[in-house]
Chains A and B, each alone.
Chain A
Amino acid sequence: MLVHEFLEDSARRTPDKVALICEGQRLTYRQVEADANRVANGLRAAGVQRGDRVGVWLPNSVEAVLAIFGILKAGATFVVVNSTTKPDKLAYVLNNCQATALFAPERQAEAVADVMASVPILKFAVLCGKDADEKTVVSGTMQAFARLVAVAPSDRPPCSCIDIDLACLIYTSGSTGDPKGVMSTHANVAFAASSIIHYLQNGPDDVIINVLPLSFDYGLYQLLMTFKFGGTLVLERSFAYPAAILKRIAEERVTGLPGVPTLFAMLLQLDLSRFDLSSLRYLTNTAAALPVEHIQRLRAAFPWAKLYSMYGLTECKRTLYLPPEELDRRPGSVGIAIPGTEVWIEDEAGRRLGPGEVGELVVRGSHVMQGYWQDAAATAERYRPGRYPAERLLYTGDLFKMDEEGFFYFVARKDDIIKTRGEKVAPKEVESVLYQLPGVVEAAVIGVPDALLGEAVKAFVVCAPDANLTERDVLRHCAQYLEDFAMPKQVEFRTSFPRTESGKIQKRDLR
């Protein structure tokens, strides 16, 4: 099955059902289908071809949804980039995947012009937002979204791709610092979506609220899965306003709330009894573990709803889920393999380990993605040959153990990636930004425990003797290059760093 067929099938079955509620608009499946067809036809007319990569640098919005499905319908591969990603890193991603077109906010038109200058293969940009109307013609290489859809027909373009073509690249931080694009075929996405829908028991009556960015696979799959099972998606820009989200849940009779530990921690600070949340059928958590105390408080606050603790990584979308009926018995576990897949734990010699033993989690199934875009070395490290010729196993880089009944428990990461607010941050990326600041001699970045964020980014800096840098100077510099979630929350100045015998900075001793 192709990913855009999720939308097409639902539009055929229930054309008049509301598919998407976003920014005050309520769009039916018929409308989303017609508008996504217009985007596809517009892209094709502008020269986008089967297999091209097209960037989507937009906040959660109607245009982002239409862009994703329009790109797929044009036979191309979509690449959603976080809307808080700075132009330099955006240009890196677009050059890395050799994108030929980009959807971006109209208010970023100047930045887009700079990005286009540094990404020669980028042919044109589509500017989105209420200020970009049909008449807006910024330049020959930029056009308004409204114009793209106004001039293009709403007929479905002929389908040119098959399910082993790439549906999307999802960029994720690796320990090397540079983001890597995880290649997902249509078949990978369709399988992963079906498996998750199966254990969440989603159906057309479900109304899902998504407050997570579509650049994050967890947020993206809320859209893809909802269109697959023919439900309704309430798409919000972020979870910055938790009370507003609770109000939306009550107004729209939302049944599914996907969250990350930071969101749930924010909700638990509110007086939940003031909102009618009785429609919620389930809550899901992934990206980082929920503290057991928060699990208990969520269970008490939503006794009628199921709470799913889950674990996964972009490289295979989702890996494990804990059936809700097991939660009270083993609150620290993230469960078992998702339906239709298998997992086990291996030691460094490749031996499978039994209950209680700690080793690396290995994943096998049709959700194991294709590897990293044009990065054979990183791909070979994570994805290794399996039992059959075309098969790849995913070595997660995460240490796990299993109990006697076969339920899995996260132990630690093998690398030093920081998980903050549900997002992954590579210390190396933040360090290289710090090194660009004149006066910084050495920099080291670690994650420190934080009640709200899970982990907070902490920067240690050694300055040149004549540099008068303050914490504010360091943060101002970082804010020019880093996404909001990757910003250091603390900066500590040191005169020197602890070192290993080989001279490397000993981060363990900075903690």
Chain B
Amino acid sequence: MSTTMSIETQIRHYILENFLYTKDEGKLRNNTSFLEDGIVDSTGILELLLFVEETFGVQVEDDEVTPENFDSVERLTRYICMKKGMPC
């Protein structure tokens, strides 16, 4: 069973490797906005969505794909915990 920490870590690693092309942890803060900082572009959100569904086994509804749920490591971690019924 994934813990909150490992969910956060997995998201961080995915973003760092696939959007920032680095392993340098210092390049991404947990509250950095993916869109505002140009980390993930409009079509990148679709890739992120597939990653979330495949990695965490959650079914993301269309209207859950919002900035509130997807726009930072922190928000995405909270959303996935909520979907999995885990405490954040």
Q: Is the CB of A244 within 8 A of B66?
A: yes
Q: Is the CB of B38 within 8 A of A83?
A: yes
Q: Is the CB of B63 within 8 A of A274?
A: yes
* Residues 235-271 of chain A, each 1 if its beta carbon lies under 8 Å from chain B, else 0: 0011111111001000000000000001000100011
Q: Does A421 contact B (CB under 8 A)?
A: yes
Which residues on B sit within 8 Å (CB–CB) of A243?
A: 62-66
Which residues on A sit within 8 Å (CB–CB) of B66?
A: 241, 243-244
Q: Which of B20, B22, B41, B65 contacts A241 (CB 8 A)?
A: B65
Q: Does A452 contact B (CB under 8 A)?
A: yes
* Residues 28-43 of chain B, each 1 if its beta carbon lies under 8 Å from chain A, else 0: 0000000111101111
Q: Does A469 contact B (CB under 8 A)?
A: no
* Residues 414-447 of chain A, each 1 if its beta carbon lies under 8 Å from chain B, else 0: 0000000100000000000000000000000000
Q: Is the CB of A241 within 8 A of B21?
A: no
Q: Does A351 contact B (CB under 8 A)?
A: no
Given A241-B66, A243-B62, A247-B63, residue A452 in contact with residue B43 (CB < 8 A): yes
Q: Which of B17, B20, B40, B64 contacts A240 (CB 8 A)?
A: B40
Q: Does B57 contact A (CB under 8 A)?
A: no
Q: Is the CB of B20 within 8 A of A484?
A: no
Shortest beta-carbon distance, A420 to chain B, in Å? 10
Q: Which of B17, B35, B44, B63 contacts A472 (CB 8 A)?
A: B17
8 Å CB contacts to A: which residues of B7-66?
17, 20-22, 35-38, 40-46, 62-66
A473 to B21, CA, bound (A): 7
Q: Does A297 contact B (CB under 8 A)?
A: no
A483 to B44, CA, bound (A): 13
A242 to B42, CA, bound (A): 9
Q: Does A59 contact B (CB under 8 A)?
A: yes
Shortest beta-carbon distance, B39 to chain A, in Å? 9
Which residues on A sit within 8 Å (CB–CB) of B43?
A: 240, 262, 266, 421, 452-453
Interface of B is mostly: loop
Q: Which of A59, A262, A473, A476 contacts B20 (CB 8 A)?
A: A476
Shortest beta-carbon distance, B42 to chain A, in Å? 4
Shortest beta-carbon distance, A431 to chain B, in Å? 19
Q: Does A352 contact B (CB under 8 A)?
A: no
Q: Is the CB of B35 within 8 A of A475?
A: no
Given A238-B35, A472-B21, A476-B22, residue A84 in contact with residue B67 (CB < 8 A): no
Q: Is the CB of A274 within 8 A of B40?
A: no
Which residues on B sit within 8 Å (CB–CB) of A242?
A: 62, 65
Which residues on B sit within 8 Å (CB–CB) of A84?
A: 38, 41
Interface residues on A, range: 20 to 34
Closest to A487 in B: B41
Q: Is the CB of A241 within 8 A of B46?
A: no
Q: Does A485 contact B (CB under 8 A)?
A: yes
Shortest beta-carbon distance, B45 to chain A, in Å? 4
* Residues 154-195 of chain A, each 1 if its beta carbon lies under 8 Å from chain B, else 0: 000000000000000000000000000000000000000000
A105 to B22, CA, bound (A): 25
Q: Does A198 contact B (CB under 8 A)?
A: no
Shortest beta-carbon distance, B21 to chain A, in Å? 3
Q: Does A413 contact B (CB under 8 A)?
A: no
Which residues on A sit within 8 Å (CB–CB) of B35?
A: 237-238, 240
Which residues on B sit within 8 Å (CB–CB) of A453?
A: 43
Given A240-B35, A240-B40, A453-B43, residue A479 in contact with residue B65 (CB < 8 A): no
Shortest beta-carbon distance, A474 to chain B, in Å? 9
Closest to B39 in A: A484
Q: Does A294 contact B (CB under 8 A)?
A: no
Given A240-B41, A484-B41, residue A274 in contact with residue B46 (CB < 8 A): no
Given A107-B36, A247-B63, residue A240 in contact with residue B45 (CB < 8 A): yes
Shortest beta-carbon distance, B76 to chain A, in Å? 13
Shortest beta-carbon distance, B26 to chain A, in Å? 14
Which residues on A sit within 8 Å (CB–CB) of B37?
A: 107
Which residues on A sit within 8 Å (CB–CB) of B65?
A: 241-244
Shortest beta-carbon distance, B62 to chain A, in Å? 4
Closest to A478 in B: B21
Shortest beta-carbon distance, B80 to chain A, in Å? 17
A485 to B38, CA, bound (A): 10
Q: Is the CB of B38 within 8 A of A241?
A: no
Which residues on B sit within 8 Å (CB–CB) of A238?
A: 35, 41-42
Which of A240, A247, A271, A487 is the most central at the interface, judged by chain B CB atoms within 10 Å of its CB?
A240
A472 to B24, CA, bound (A): 13
Given A59-B36, A237-B35, residue A479 in contact with residue B42 (CB < 8 A): no
Q: Which of B20, B41, B62 contacts A485 (CB 8 A)?
A: B41
Which of B22, B42, B64 is the most central at the interface, judged by chain A CB atoms within 10 Å of its CB?
B42
Given A83-B38, A107-B36, residue A241 in contact with residue B17 (CB < 8 A): no
Shortest beta-carbon distance, B66 to chain A, in Å? 5
Which residues on B sit within 8 Å (CB–CB) of A487?
A: 41
In the assembled complex, 15 residue pairs joining A and B whose CB atoms fall closer than 8 Å, in A order, are: A84-B41, A105-B36, A237-B36, A238-B35, A238-B42, A243-B65, A266-B42, A266-B43, A270-B62, A274-B62, A421-B42, A421-B43, A476-B22, A479-B20, A484-B44
Q: B residues bordering A, Cβ < 8 Å?
A: 17, 20-22, 35-38, 40-46, 62-67, 70
Closest 8 CB pairs of A and B: A476-B21, A484-B41, A240-B42, A84-B38, A243-B62, A240-B45, A243-B63, A475-B21
